[in-house]
């Protein structure tokens, strides 16, 4: 696997935007948008240049309408999906 290039703050912001987009796409595909009352997603990203490690922490919560409440794992599934897609995204945009 190729090494990550040195990531600056703009790169990290772009990665966070990608993750947000993928999480929302997954949730909107699996839950009617009318059934979503509130979603709170936070990504904390740290790039350790010396070790070439991208550390991502997530904190997610959601409030759904009682009639359309999805499977209780929807948040973790959406996050897992986004992180899987992130590997390809990093390969295409941020690897040397």
Closest to 23 measured CA to CA, from 65, 53, 55, 59: 59
Confidence at 17, pLDDT banded by 50, 70, 90: very high
Residue 45, pLDDT score: 93
32 confidence band (pLDDT: 50, 70, 90): confident
CATH number at residue 27: 3.30.300.100
pLDDT band at 52 (very low <50, low <70, confident <90, very high): confident
Residue 72 lies in a domain: yes
Q: Would 4 be classed as within a structural domain?
A: no
Count: domains in the chain: 1
6 or 63, which is more confident: 6
Taking the C-alpha atoms of residue 27 and residue 57, their distance in angstroms, rounded to an integer, is 19
> What pLDDT, on a 0 to 100 scale, did the predictor assign at position 57?
93
49 falls within a domain = yes
Residue 1 domain flag: no
Per-residue tokens: 42: 């936070």
Backbone angles phi, psi at 65, to 5 degrees: -60, 140
Domain hosting residue 44, numbered range: 9-93
| DSSP secondary structure string for all residues of 1-49 | -PPBPPP-HHHHHHHHHHHHHHHHHHHHHHS-GGGEEEEEEEEEEEEET
- For range 21-33, the mean pLDDT: 86
């Amino acid at each position: 696997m190729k090494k990550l290039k040195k990531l600056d703050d703009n790169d990290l912001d772009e990665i966070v935007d990608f993750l947000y987009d993928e999480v929302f796409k997954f949730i909107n595909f699996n839950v009617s948008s009318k059934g979503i009352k509130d979603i709170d997603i936070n990504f904390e990203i740290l790039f350790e240049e010396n070790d070439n490690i991208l550390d991502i922490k997530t904190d997610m919560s959601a409030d759904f309408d009682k009639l359309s409440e999805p499977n209780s794992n929807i948040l973790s599934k959406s996050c897992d999906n986004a992180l899987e897609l992130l590997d390809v995204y990093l390969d295409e945009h941020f690897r040397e």
